[in-house]
Structure 1
Amino acid sequence: MITSVFSKSKPINYIIVFAITLFAVLLAYILVVKQPFSAALFGNFMLRLALSYFSILVLNFIVTKNQLSKSNNYQIFLFSLFLLLIPQTTTNVDVLLSNLFILFGLRRLISLRSQRNEKSKLFDAGFWFAIAALFYFWAILFFVVVFAALLFYRDNKLRNWIIPFTGVASVFIITVCVSIVLHNEYLYYFQNLPEISEDFSSYNTPRFFVGITLLLSYTVWSIIFYLNAIKDKKRDVRPSFYIILITLLVAIVILFFSPFKNGSEFLFVMAPLAIIIAAYLETIKDKWFREAFVGLLILMPIVLLFL
Structure 2
Amino acid sequence: MLTRLFSHSKPIAFAVLSILFVVAFFVENFISSTVEVNAPLIFRKIGVLIVFLLILFLLNFIVKRNKIHQQHTYAVSSFALLTIAFPEVLRSTEFVLSYFFLLLSFRRILSLKTNTKIKQKIFDSGLLLSISIWFEPFHWLFLFVIYFGVIMYASQNYRHFIIPLVGLAVGFVLHISYFLISKNTWVDLSFYLPEFNGIDSFFDTLKYSVLLVFLLFILIWIIFQLPNIYNRAKLHENESLSVVLFFMLVSIGMLILNNTLLAKDAIYLILPISILIGNYFQLKSTKKWMKETLYIMFIAGVIFSALY
TM range (shorter): over 0.9
CA distance in 2, matches of 1:37, 1:294: 34
Q: Secondary structure at the match of 2:71?
A: coil
Structure 2 vs 1, CA of residues 236 and 217 (structure 1 numbering), >3 Å: closer, same or farther? same
Matches within 5 A, 1:27-42: 27-29=27-29, 33-42=33-42
Asked if 2 retains the 8 angstrom alpha-carbon contact of 1:109 and 1:121, the reply is: yes
CA distance in 2, matches of 1:212, 1:288: 24
- The alpha-carbon deviation at position 217 of structure 1 amounts to 0.8
Asked if 2 retains the 8 angstrom alpha-carbon contact of 1:88 and 1:262, the reply is: no
Q: Are positions 1:128 and 2:99 aligned together?
A: no
Deviations 1:54-75 (A, max 9, x none): 1111111111111111100111
Residue 5 of structure 1 is matched in structure 2 by: 5
CA distance in 1, matches of 2:108, 2:59: 12
- The alpha-carbon deviation at position 223 of structure 1 amounts to 2.3
Structure 2 vs 1, CA of residues 231 and 151 (structure 1 numbering), >3 Å: closer, same or farther? farther
Matches within 5 A, 1:104-115: 104-115=104-115
- The alpha-carbon deviation at position 192 of structure 1 amounts to 6.5
Residue 287 of structure 2 is matched in structure 1 by: 286
Deviations 1:168-219 (A, max 9, x none): 0110111121121112223258546431123744743232122211111111
Which ranges of structure 2 fall in alignment gaps of 5 or more residues? none
Asked if 2 retains the 8 angstrom alpha-carbon contact of 1:247 and 1:272, the reply is: yes
Q: Secondary structure at the match of 1:263?
A: helix
CA RMSD in angstroms, aligned pairs only? 2.0
Deviations 1:130-175 (A, max 9, x none): 1111110001111111111122226131101111111001101111
Q: Are positions 1:302 and 2:303 aligned together?
A: yes
* Greater Cα shift, 204-213 or 137-146: 204-213
Question: Scaled by the length of structure 2, what TM-score is found?
Answer: 0.93
CA distance in 2, matches of 1:97, 1:281: 30
Q: Are positions 1:81 and 2:81 aligned together?
A: yes
Which ranges of structure 1 fall in alignment gaps of 5 or more residues? none
- The alpha-carbon deviation at position 249 of structure 1 amounts to 1.3
- The alpha-carbon deviation at position 15 of structure 1 amounts to 1.1
Q: In structure 2, what residue type is equivalent to 1:298?
A: I
CA distance in 2, matches of 1:180, 1:137: 20
Q: In structure 2, what residue type is equivalent to 1:2?
A: L
Q: In structure 1, what residue type is equivalent to 2:35?
A: Q
CA distance in 1, matches of 2:137, 2:302: 30
CA distance in 2, matches of 1:8, 1:194: 41
Q: In structure 1, what residue type is equivalent to 2:206?
A: P
Q: Are positions 1:184 and 2:176 aligned together?
A: no
Matches within 5 A, 1:100-249: 100-153=100-153, 155-187=155-187, 191=191, 193-198=193-198, 200-201=200-201, 203-249=203-249
Asked if 1 retains the 8 angstrom alpha-carbon contact of 2:55 and 2:100, the reply is: yes
CA distance in 2, matches of 1:88, 1:225: 30
Structure 2 vs 1, CA of residues 30 and 202 (structure 1 numbering), >3 Å: closer, same or farther? farther
Q: In structure 2, what residue type is equivalent to 1:76?
A: V
CA distance in 2, matches of 1:50, 1:183: 28
CA distance in 2, matches of 1:16, 1:191: 40
Asked if 2 retains the 8 angstrom alpha-carbon contact of 1:7 and 1:73, the reply is: yes
* Greater Cα shift, 183-192 or 257-266: 183-192
Question: Scaled by the length of structure 1, what TM-score is found?
Answer: 0.93
- The alpha-carbon deviation at position 31 of structure 1 amounts to 7.8
Residue 91 of structure 2 is matched in structure 1 by: 91
CA distance in 2, matches of 1:162, 1:139: 19
Percent of matched pairs sharing the same residue: 25
- The alpha-carbon deviation at position 273 of structure 1 amounts to 1.7
Q: In structure 2, what residue type is equivalent to 1:278?
A: G
Q: In structure 2, what residue type is equivalent to 1:291?
A: E
Paired residues, number: 307
Residue 256 of structure 2 is matched in structure 1 by: 256
Matches within 5 A, 1:15-26: 15-26=15-26
CA distance in 1, matches of 2:138, 2:227: 27
Deviations 1:103-149 (A, max 9, x none): 11111111111111100010011111111111100011111111111
